[in-house]
């Protein structure tokens, strides 16, 4: 489901982000022009400090660029208020974080329901969709567990379920496999590839794991805040 | 708002995350609330003991006098039909008992010493009901119900009437002489001794002494000063309402101790009829003292009595109007407690704010996640405020229970004041044992205020939480 055929899911132009550290100015992003079509499955690759997290933050409306524009499904983030940005994040974007970032006081099922509840989906519908999503990431048996009672791989799958249960346009993931062993990483990737196909959501995630990069259909390489290559695998 | 149940669930469960911290902050609130309730209880108890101590001895909750009497008592400021008026006052709804009194001054002399006394004439039954004076008798007994028989005033014989006229003429001449002497500087001759004795004889005929010495109660300090024990006689000298000197011997029937030093050192109490007779007041009296079923109704009952035709021309006052000094003392007592309570509250509120702020800083990443997935800042404020309110409410109710328990215990057993015990401030005695009084306001105010403070104290951490950067969720920093 995307907002019409005309607008790409994500578009950026001349995106620049600088950070001040004392008197030194760090240019984390230095002019990013990028377009992601609906349903694409893309990896951001690049060495540490190349700007992957920063780019995901700007695309996910978690921070504002120093200059340049970001458009999500044709909407220019620069023209939106903080409340409108919050609404956009809530309704359009699913996030998967490197550190999982589940709420420790909520069960797996409640974490998966979290964003749906914030969207105002009815209780019964919340439950139904969250349960279905947890089953599809292979956690059908673990609804009632708290994050502290789950392995890293299981926690990250709950996070994926949370992101995908509520997202309508885009799923952003920052190094989702960085804290996982290779077996867990593989199976999480399987799940994501599967969900991408099933739900026609646009996926963008960062990684420097070559096995992850190998699974992507499009790989964008960043270095020092610039795109140095943008390659598509043949379908 | 969407997700309110979720906000509540997160807030509630967050309290369980750091149990020790929650318990310590909760304990601060609970101790604060229970101390406040206990302070209010002791303060209320002390105030009501003070008020009781002044209203249960002589002062009524409501008093009726002739105009001017309460500020400057004088024998001539009396009212008539005293017994009827007392009966009307006693029949008023809400009035428990009414005492009817005559008040005057006299010089009391025993075989050993003499002292100025305040002579109070009371209806023994009414006084016992109103001020329980009968229970304060420490030796001897209380006044009997019936007054002492006094012989009727005798008609003057023709010779005596002639003598009276002669003495009057003499007195007039003496007065004229005196005025002349003032002008000329000459010394005026004293009236002859003879005429003084004769005057006394005539007066005795007009107002004869009672058949037997009427009974009188003395305050214990006064009795000691006079060296008079029960059954001793005391001679009271004074002027009657006509200004004539009178001199009557009373017999001490009992000694009373009220605990009020001023009263115990100056009071002599006798039967109303005897004192009315002594002062030549007929059926007149000076004071109606009303004891009410509920002291807090003093104002309404005073107002309704003042409107009664039976009390037209008289002044009806409440104890608050008669003793503004005690009212001021009770007020300053309350103000002192309020300041203490405010300090306790501010300290507890700072403790709560600090605890929640620490929790907010610890959970910054989590809050960032909630912001990132689109939770509204207002919902985050609500979440933090709910967490604080739950902590405050839970702890306040524990504090309420403990505070009420302390009040009930202190109400029952009291705090002995030891060396300070039983002193008097302006006639209001601080009791030897402090008792707490539990009132609904005294218990519920601290709880309500503490909840309000807790919520106010949560606003600062909540504002910090609501401003958390959503970008904190990304990366692994
Ligand atoms: N909040 C910040 N304040 C200051 N500098 C920052 C901040 N965030 C990022 N930077 C800097 O911006 C640059 C890009 O950082 P970013 O986190 O986007 O890199 P990355 O590609 O995600 O690296 P990694 O692979 O280590 O996660 C780095 O030089 C980093 O030090
Ligand atoms: Mg990064």
Note the ipTM here: 0.92
CA of A221 to the centre of ligand 2 (A): 14
Centre of ligand 2 to C-alpha A172, Å, is 13
What is the percent of chain B with per-residue pLDDT over 90, rounded to a whole number?
24
Q: Which ligand is nearest to the CA of A28?
A: 1
- Burial class of residue A109 in the structure, from the number of CB atoms within 10 Å of its CB (0-12 exposed, 13-18 middle, 19+ buried): buried
Rounded to whole angstroms, how far apart are CA atoms A170 and A177?
Answer: 18
Is A63 near ligand 1, meaning CB less than 6 Å away? no
Provide the shortest C-alpha distance from residue B24 to chain A (in Å): 21
Please report the beta strands in chain A, taking only residues with DSSP state E, as ranges in sequence order. Answer: 10-21, 24-36, 41-45, 67-72, 75-76, 93-96, 170-174, 202-206, 218-223, 226-232
Which H helix or E strand runs over B315?
strand B315-318
From residue B366, give the alpha-carbon distance in Å to each of A57, A114, A180, B78: 16, 13, 20, 83
Q: Check residue B166 and give its pLDDT.
A: 80
For residue A58, what is the nearest residue in chain B, using CA coordinates?
A: B471
Specify whether the CB–CB gap between A70 and A12 falls below 8 A.
yes
Which residues make beta-bridge pairs with B103?
B120
Distance A29 CA to ligand 1 centre (A): 9
Answer yes or no: is the C-beta of A25 below 6 A from any ligand 1 atom: no
Chain A residues 10-49 within an 8 A CB cutoff of chain B:
none
Q: What's residue A2's pLDDT? A: 43
Contact B119, B248 (CB under 8 A): no
Per-residue pLDDT reduced to its tens digit, A183-198: 888 888 888 888 888 8
Residues of chain B neighbouring A90 (CB-CB closer than 8 A)? 373-375
Minimal CA separation from A233 to chain B, in Å: 27
CA distances from B332 to A89, B142, B338, B428 (A): 59, 38, 10, 14
The closest alpha carbon to B86, from B295, B304, B289, B294, belongs to: B289
- Tokens representing B357 are 């702020």
Q: How many residues appear in chain A?
A: 235
Mutate to test the interface with A, among B374, B378, B380 (most CBs of A within 10 A): B374
- Domain A38-63+82-232 in this protein, CATH class: alpha beta
CB atoms within 10 A of CB B112: 10
Q: Is there a contact between B24 and B416 (Cβ–Cβ < 8 Å)?
A: no
Residue B292 has pLDDT above 50, yes or no: yes
Q: What is the pLDDT of residue B341?
A: 83
How is chain B split into domains, by residue range? 2-55+326-475, 60-149+217-321, 154-206
Residue of B nearest to A97 (CA): B474
d(CA B433, CA B49): 10
On whether the CB atoms of residues A187 and A152 are closer than 8 A, the answer is no
Q: Are strands B315-318 and B415-416 parallel, antiparallel or unpaired?
A: unpaired
Quick one: tokens of B126?
């009414």
Pairing of strands A93-96, A170-174: parallel
* Tens-place pLDDT, residues B44-59: 888 887 777 777 777 8
Determine the 3-state secondary structure of B356 from DSSP. helix
Q: Which single residue is written with the structure tokens 């008023």?
A: B92
DSSP assignment of B183-200 = HH-PPPPPPPHHHHHHHH
Q: Give pTM, 2 decimals.
A: 0.71
Tokens 């002589």 sit on residue: B58
Q: Which residue matches tokens 């994501």?
A: A192
Predicted pLDDT at B421: 46
For residue B393, give how far its alpha carbon lies from the nearest alpha carbon of chain A (Å). Answer: 21
The shortest CB-CB distance from B14 to any of A91, A105, A166 is to A105
Residue A219, CA distances (Å) to A53, A101, A215, B475 in order:
15, 26, 10, 20
Cβ B460 vs Cβ A48: under 8 Å = no
Q: What is the mean pLDDT of chain A?
A: 91
Ligand 1, atom 8, residue with closest C-alpha:
A54
Contact B163, B202 (CB under 8 A): yes
- What does the pLDDT read at residue B425? 56
**Is the model's pLDDT at B119 over the cut of 80?**
yes
Three-state DSSP state, B249: strand
For residue A34 and ligand 1, the question of a CB distance below 6 A is answered with no
Ligand 1 atom nearest to CA at A21:
4
pLDDT band at B191 (very low <50, low <70, confident <90, very high): low
Q: What are phi and psi of A152, to 5 degrees?
A: -55, -45
Ligand 1 near A179 CB (within 6 A): no
Task: List the single residue in A with minimal CA-CA distance to B17.
Answer: A105
> Scanning every residue of chain B, which has its alpha carbon at the shortest distance from the alpha carbon of A122?
B2
């Amino acid at each position: 489901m995307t907002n019409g055929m005309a607008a790409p899911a994500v578009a950026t132009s001349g995106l620049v982000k600088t950070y001040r550290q004392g008197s030194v100015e760090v240019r984390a992003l230095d002019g990013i022009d990028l377009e992601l079509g609906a349903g694409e499955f893309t990896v951001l690759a690049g060495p540490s400090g190349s700007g992957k997290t920063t780019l995901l933050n700007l695309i996910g409306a978690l921070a504002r660029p120093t200059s340049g524009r970001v458009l999500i499904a044709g909407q220019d983030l620069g023209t939106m208020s903080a409340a409108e940005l919050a609404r956009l994040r809530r309704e359009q974007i699913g996030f998967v974080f490197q550190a999982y970032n589940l709420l420790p006081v909520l069960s797996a099922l409640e974490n998966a329901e979290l964003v749906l509840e914030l969207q105002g989906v009815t209780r019964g519908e919340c439950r139904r969709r969250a349960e279905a999503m947890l089953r599809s990431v292979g956690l059908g048996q673990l609804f009632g567990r708290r994050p502290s009672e789950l392995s890293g791989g299981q926690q990250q799958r709950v996070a994926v379920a949370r992101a995908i249960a509520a997202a309508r346009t885009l799923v952003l993931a920052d190094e989702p496999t960085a804290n996982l062993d290779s077996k867990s990483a593989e199976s999480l990737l399987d799940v994501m590839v599967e969900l991408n196909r099933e739900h026609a959501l646009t996926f963008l995630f960062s990684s420097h794991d070559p096995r992850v990069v190998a699974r992507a259909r499009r790989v964008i390489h960043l270095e020092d805040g610039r795109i140095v290559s943008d390659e598509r695998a043949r379908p | 708002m969407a997700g309110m149940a979720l906000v509540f669930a997160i807030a509630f469960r967050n309290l369980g995350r750091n149990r020790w911290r929650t318990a310590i902050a909760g304990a601060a609130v609970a101790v604060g609330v229970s101390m406040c309730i206990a302070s209010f209880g002791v303060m209320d108890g002390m105030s009501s003991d003070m008020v009781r101590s002044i209203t249960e001895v002589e002062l009524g909750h409501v008093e009726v006098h002739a105009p001017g009497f309460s500020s400057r008592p004088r024998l001539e400021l009396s009212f008539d039909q005293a017994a009827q008026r007392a009966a009307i006052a006693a029949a008023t709804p809400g009035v428990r008992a009414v005492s009817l009194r005559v008040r005057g001054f006299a010089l009391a002399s025993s075989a050993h010493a003499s002292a100025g006394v305040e002579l109070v004439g009371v209806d023994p039954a009414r006084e016992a009901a109103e001020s329980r004076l009968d229970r304060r008798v420490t030796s001897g007994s209380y006044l009997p119900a019936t007054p002492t028989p006094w012989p009727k005033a005798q008609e003057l014989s023709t010779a005596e009437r002639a003598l009276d006229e002669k003495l009057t003429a003499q007195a007039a001449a003496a007065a004229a002489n005196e005025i002349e002497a003032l002008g000329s500087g000459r010394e005026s001759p004293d009236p002859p001794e003879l005429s003084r004795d004769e005057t006394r004889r005539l007066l005795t005929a007009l107002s004869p002494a009672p058949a037997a010495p009427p009974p009188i109660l003395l305050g214990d300090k006064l009795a000691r000063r006079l060296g008079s024990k029960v059954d001793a006689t005391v001679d009271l000298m004074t002027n009657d309402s006509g200004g004539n000197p009178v001199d009557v011997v009373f017999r001490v029937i009992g000694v009373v101790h009220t605990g009020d030093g001023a009263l115990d050192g100056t009071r002599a109490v006798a039967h109303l009829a005897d004192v009315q007779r002594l002062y030549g007041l007929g059926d007149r009296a000076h004071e109606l003292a009303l004891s009410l079923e509920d002291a807090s109704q003093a104002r309404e009952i005073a107002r309704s009595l003042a409107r009664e035709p039976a009390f037209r021309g008289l002044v009806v006052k409440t104890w608050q109007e008669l003793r503004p000094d005690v009212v001021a003392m009770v007020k300053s007592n309350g103000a002192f407690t309020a300041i203490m309570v405010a300090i306790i509250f501010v300290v507890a509120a700072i403790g709560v704010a600090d605890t929640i702020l620490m929790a907010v800083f610890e959970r910054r990443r989590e809050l960032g996640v909630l912001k990132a997935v689109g939770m509204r800042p207002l919902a985050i404020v609500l979440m933090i405020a709910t967490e604080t309110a739950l902590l405050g409410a839970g702890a306040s109710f524990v504090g309420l229970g403990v505070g009420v328990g302390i009040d009930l215990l202190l109400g029952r057993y009291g705090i002995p004041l030891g060396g300070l015990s039983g002193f008097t401030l302006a006639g209001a005695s601080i009791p030897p044992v402090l008792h707490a009084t539990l009132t609904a306001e005294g218990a519920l105010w601290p709880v309500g205020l503490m909840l309000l403070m807790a919520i106010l104290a949560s606003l600062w951490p909540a504002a910090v939480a609501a401003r958390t950067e959503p970008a904190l969720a990304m990366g692994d920093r």
